[in-house]
Amino acid sequence: MDIAKNIAKKDKALFDTLIEFEKTKKIRTKTRLNFTIDKTIASRFKKLCREKGYNMSAKIEQVMKGIIEKEG
């Protein structure tokens, strides 16, 4: 029980993942985000991704990861 409490304190996301696994027997490593983006930028990005065959979420995730690695 102490181990579980320590995990919950240090890494809530990991603890929540473990709880979900106990319930569903599946591990989900993705989360849904909800934020607003300029309509023109969103439209142009969506069009570019469609033309190039990119996954929009994967591209956004790459940019976010780059920012974290640079600034984090």
pLDDT in tens, 33-53: 999 999 999 999 999 999 999
Is there a single domain that holds both residue 44 and residue 63?
yes
Is there a single domain that holds both residue 58 and residue 38?
yes
For the record, the structure tokens of 16 come out as 């929540």
Contact (CB, 8 A) for 33 and 22: no
Give per-residue pLDDT as tens, 8-27: 778 877 778 888 888 888 87
Total number of domains in the chain: 2
Query: Containing domain of residue 20, as a range?
Result: 1-31
CA distance 54 to 72: 26
For the record, the structure tokens of 6 come out as 């320590």
Is there a single domain that holds both residue 23 and residue 37?
no
Q: Is the pTM of this model over 0.85?
A: no
CA distance 25 to 38: 38
Is there a single domain that holds both residue 61 and residue 49?
yes
Is there a single domain that holds both residue 55 and residue 71?
yes
